[in-house]
Amino acid sequence: MEVGIVIKEVEPSIPGRLRITGEEKELLYRFLRDEIGREGIRALAIIWFDEGKTEAEIAVLLFISARNVRRWIRRYRENGILGLHDGERTGRPRKADENVEKAVDDLMKKKPEEVGYKSGFWISGLLCLHLFTIFGFLLSDNTVRRVLHRLGYVFRRPKLWSGPSGVKPPEIEKALKEVKKRKQSSFIKMKPAFISCQC
């Protein structure tokens, strides 16, 4: 049994098929540099198509289907560079909408003690708990952290306060000495054990 390869005749590539001007090409290159992931790659596909590469060649170079390349070219022809951006995606709406972001922003301006908690600082779990009492649905720690990140907050581990110019307040100094004493007294001095061997 012989296996034959079918070679399909392809039209010769025609440079300038999209009639992209120098200014538009510069915009596409800027778009390629600035956008991340799929959107930047779309600009590269448009540039290559205009330079004469076929849809199939572009698909092979970018490890995608020729159908996707045709879709990007159509979107570019219809909407220009704006057609290369991702459209609205369907799916479950975010739980952390603008109302949640506003509530988190308001909470971060207050201390937990002001809201009724016995904590000196906010942690993501405490924020999740308080947001549950407000909205009636539970948000994950990661979701709250993403909201905080969008609002410009950075979560860090709390540190002992060292006071102005590095001077520790007397209460902290006393507590640290107490901890050191306890550590030293907790070690039990043991006599070395003698092992007798009967050989």
**Per-residue model confidence as pLDDT tens digits over 3-44:** 555 444 444 445 667 888 888 889 899 888 888 778 889 999
What integer pLDDT is reported at residue 81 of this predicted model? Answer: 87
Task: Return d(Cα 190, Cα 123) in angstroms, integer.
Answer: 43
pLDDT at 11: 47
**pLDDT score, position 123:** 85
Q: Residue ranges of the alpha helices (H) in 83-166? A: 98-108, 112-115, 124-135, 141-150
The pLDDT of residue 102: 92
Are 108 and 153 contacting, i.e. CB atoms less than 8 angstroms apart? yes
Average pLDDT along the chain: 79
Q: Which amino acid is at 49?
A: F
> Residue 121 and residue 114: Cα distance in Å, rounded?
11
The CA-atom distances, in angstroms, between 29 and each of 34, 39, 199 are 9, 12, 84
Q: What is the mean pLDDT of residues 115-128?
A: 86
Inter-residue contact 38 to 1 (CB < 8 Å): no
Helix (H, G, I), strand (E, B) or coil at 105: helix
Q: Return the structure tokens found at 10.
A: 């392809």
What pTM was computed for the model?
0.42
DSSP H helical segments within the chain, as ranges?
Answer: 22-34, 38-51, 55-62, 66-79, 98-108, 112-115, 124-135, 141-150, 170-185
Residue 67 confidence (pLDDT) = 95
- In angstroms, the Cα distances linking 22 to 82, 106, 188 are 17, 49, 81
Q: Which of 30-44, 103-117, 175-189 is the most confident on average?
A: 103-117
Cβ neighbors of 14 (< 8 A, separation 6 or more) are 52
- Whole-number pLDDT of residue 3: 53
State pLDDT tens for residues 50-103: 999 999 999 999 999 999 999 999 999 999 888 888 877 777 777 788 899 999
Could you give the CA distance from residue 23 to residue 146 in angstroms, rounded to a whole number? 38
Mean pLDDT lowest among 96-100, 150-154, 161-165: 161-165
Percent of the chain clearing pLDDT 90 (strictly above): 25
